[in-house]
Structure 1
């Protein structure tokens, strides 16, 4: 494995690509729904189009709100973020029936980098159960001494490919693409917030843990 070398401009570009990837699907569905409203006079098709637009708009909004907290500045330098706000945007990712989501955390203010790490770990946990299932997120302790545990349980659960290396800031080639940038970024945040991450798997359950270094 080689240490990934990435300048700030490439990091920004890759993160922007990731955010665009996440929102382009629901935005495209909104456009399709509007085209149906313009071109089709059938009432049932119009009702379907309106439902599609409403669902897709909510999905796009939820993903943007999540990205703002998980990737964005979310306030000035050194700002703290309410874990209740983190729960709200996290739940927005689970609007369908494919994955159920449970959250257990105190309603406290945490340093923003630790909240960003928690949200990014939840994104990684989603990739651990490609066929759906259940994710539970637990935060224990307080802002100064805390632990995050995210469990993904589902059919064919697995540790996402290259996730452990990317979290450590490494890859086989010493480079990272838009597919892996989110996990690499999570590792950057972990190191910046003084936390270490680890994976374990047992049967159909993957556990992702973050503790203070």
Structure 2
């Protein structure tokens, strides 16, 4: 066994163990609402459960172990994005029509997480593919990127003090290296784009 896969296995285990109780809470909330128990508190719990569920699904795809040759259908990603978008801060659009290998989808979602850090007040992220080239594009009024982290994506030096919230900046180049690819970053006044 390749011990470099241990962190992904740990992430998969954590996501697997957390998703079950979140689902049970969601089922309980649904039963409460069916019995006529509607309140602002119940609505808050419902929204929180849905948000936690979608985040765990995202983290399982991005940080979890991948099966050999596993393919993901467009509907799986669009459903995930629909659930993630319910918080209202960020809108994500999957513009890829064919099933794609999970390791390619992982790279695109890692790029999305990198772009999310620059959208301080929200915005839109679109993921598309033309031929063999992926493009992950963020648009928003207040884009702000931290140059040290962004240089890692294009093969610059690693930053020694990366926080857990920014681990995607370290993982994206590793994921792309495994695919035999590298990333380029383009930016403008209200856009930021990663392509690979």
Specify if TM > 0.5. yes
Shift of 1:150: 1.7
Q: Give the match for residue 141 of structure 2.
A: 155
Q: Which residue of 2 aligns with 1:61?
A: 53
Give the TM-score, by structure 2 length.
0.74
Name which of 159, 170, 183 aligns with 1:197: 183
Mark the runs of 5 or more structure 1 residues left unpaired by the alignment: 1-6, 35-43
Identify the residue that residue 123 of structure 1 maps to in structure 2.
113
* Higher RCO, Cα 8 Å, sep 6+: 1
Q: 1:140 to 1:62 in 2, by over 3 A?
A: same
Greater share of helix: 2
- Aligned-CA RMSD value: 3.1
Structure 2 residue ranges without an equivalent (≥5): 30-36
Cα distance, 1:177 vs structure 2: 3.9
Give the 3-state SS of the residue equivalent to 1:78 in structure 2.
Answer: coil
Aligned to 2:169: 183
Paired with 2:159 and 2:74, the residues of 1 have a C-alpha distance of 36
TM-score (ref. length: structure 1): 0.68
Residue number among 7, 14, 32 corresponding to 1:12 in the alignment: 7
Counterparts of 2:46 and 2:147, CA distance in 1: 34
Equivalences for 1:1-213 in 2 at 5 Å?
Answer: 8=4, 12=7, 16=11, 47-74=39-66, 76-106=67-97, 108-141=98-131, 146-167=132-153, 168=155, 170-173=157-160, 176-210=162-196
Higher percent of residues as strand: 1
Cα deviation for residue 93 of structure 1 reads 2.2
Cα distance change, pair 91–187 in 1 and its aligned pair in 2 (3 A):
farther
